[in-house]
Structure 1
Amino acid sequence: MRKLIAAINTTLDGICDHTAGIPDEEIHQHYTELLRQGDAILYGRTTYELMEFWRTLLENPSEEKSMNDFAKAIDQIPKIVFSRTLKNVDWESATIAKGDLKGTVLELKQQSGKDIFVGSPSLIIQLMKLNLIDEYQFCVHPVVAGSGLPLFENINDRTILKLIKTKTFSSGAVTLNYEPTNKKTTNS
């Protein structure tokens, strides 16, 4: 059974706006290596459309090798997009999910192969509520954004996580890997 890993950048105040972090060469390398360890990544429409930026670096490479390497890795990993509005995608390695989120993820997890990643805040919340995430990887940037999209918006249940691994970057960013303990309590 494959693991479903929620991997996302966030700020100290829990904002997951892609412009709020401080991506650098080391963080790009980290995510390049992570993507190479997976068989698929799940996106919602908004995050998928943001990630299409990386396609431009395939045609017009950056002067920064780590960004070009990430662009190649994100291009190569199959992307499954969950959207009610997109009818098709033109990124060769992307497809629109044919089924519902729960059924598709359960089917993917049952297959043999490498890990599956989810990188969209909205999907992380939905999958968290369905208790389908096996591991969380938060890359916490040393920034207080002050405003933006909070990662854990609309969560009503208290979820307890167990820290399993950390990694510190020279920028001060830290990845925190957690496993859910499957203990949930309802907040009143």
Structure 2
Amino acid sequence: MRKVIAALNMTLDGNCDHTAGIPDEEVHQHYTELLRQGEAILYGRTTYQLMEFWRTFLEKPFEQKSMNDFAKAIDKIPKIVFSNTLKNLDWESAALAKLELKDEVVELKQQSGNDIFIGSRSLIIQLLNLNLIDEFQLCIYPVIDRKGLRLFEDINDRIILNLIKTKIFKSGAVILYYQPKMIDKEEQRIANITK
């Protein structure tokens, strides 16, 4: 079975707006390699439209090689887009989801192949509430932004995560790799009482 991995950037205070971080060459190289290993990435409409920015680097390469390499990797990986408003997509490697989010992800997980990434905050929240995320890869930038979207809003239940590894970049950014801890119904009931 494939794993579903929530891979997202955020500031130290939890802002996961794509403009809040400070990615450098090393971070771009990391995500380029990650995308090359994936089977697909899931986006909501807003994030998908933001990611279309990278297509400009394919037409007119930037002076920084790591950004061009990332643009090629994001172009190549299949993108599945969940949207109620978009009717067609003109990015060759992108397609609109055929099923509702839960059904699409359950079907993808059951297939063989490489991991599936989630690149949109809204999808992460929905899939977290459905217990369909196998791993988090949260890149935390050493920035306090005070505004923007918070990743873990609107979560239904308390969730305990197990830290499985870390990766530290020279810039001070760090990736925290977590797996949700499976707790039984009695543990959840006790946790809800003690809130």
Instruction: Report the TM range for the smaller structure's normalisation.
Output: over 0.9
Task: Please state if 1:37 is matched with 2:37.
Answer: yes
Tell me the alpha carbon deviations over residues 138-166 of structure 1, each in whole angstroms, 9 at most, x when there is no partner.
00000001000000111131100000110
Do residues 179 (structure 1) and 171 (structure 2) align? no
Whichever residue aligns with residue 22 of structure 1, its letter is I
Any conservation in 1 of the 2:129–2:156 contact (CA below 8 Å)?
no
SS of the aligned residue for 1:46 comes to helix
Alignment-derived partner of residue 93 in structure 1: 93
Partners of 1:63 and 1:122 in 2: how far apart?
Answer: 33
Instruction: Find the residue that maps to 1:140 and give its secondary structure.
Output: strand
After superposition, residues 154-165 of structure 1 pair within 5 angstroms as: 154-165=154-165
Deviant stretches of 4+, over 3 Å: 184-188
Show structure 2 runs of 5+ residues with no match: none
SS of match in other structure, 1:92: coil
Q: Is the 8 A contact 2:41 2:119 kept in 1?
A: yes
SS in 2 for 1:51: helix
- Among all aligned residue pairs of Structure 1 and Structure 2, give the percentage whose two residues are the same amino acid: 73
Describe how 1:32-181 pairs up with structure 2 within 5 A. Answer: 32-181=32-181
Distance 2:62 2:9 in 1: 22
CA distance in 2, matches of 1:186, 1:55: 46
Cα 1:95–1:186, aligned 2, differ >3 Å: closer, same or farther? farther
When normalised by structure 1's length, the TM-score is 0.98
Q: CA deviation at 1:19?
A: 0.8
Instruction: Choose between structure 1 and 2: higher strand proportion.
Output: 1
Structure 1, unmatched stretches of 5+, are: none
Separation in 2, partners of 1:106, 1:158: 22
Structure 1 residue matching 2:21: 3-state secondary structure: coil
| SS of corresponding position for 1:157 | coil
Residues 4 and 115 in structure 1, CA contact (< 8 A), matched pair in contact too? yes
Contact 1:42 1:81 in 2 (8 A): yes
One-letter amino acid matched to 2:118: V
Moved more, 151-160 or 118-127: 151-160
| Counterparts of 1:176 and 1:26, CA distance in 2 | 16
Letter in 2 for 1:119: G
Flag the structure with higher helix content: 2
Tell me if the contact between 1:131 and 1:182 (Cα under 8 Å) persists in the aligned partners: no
- Match of 1:158, SS state, is coil
When the two structures are aligned, how many residues end up with a matched partner? Answer: 188
Q: Which amino acid aligns with 1:42?
A: L
What CA distance in whole angstroms lies between the structure 2 residues aligned with 1:84 and 1:125? 17
Counterparts of 1:5 and 1:155, CA distance in 2: 17
Aligned-partner SS, 1:43: strand
Q: TM-score, normalised by structure 2?
A: 0.94
| Partner in structure 1 of residue 13 of structure 2 | 13
- Describe the superposition over 1:42-86 as per-residue Cα deviations: whole angstroms up to 9, x where unpaired: 000000000000000000000000000000000000000001111
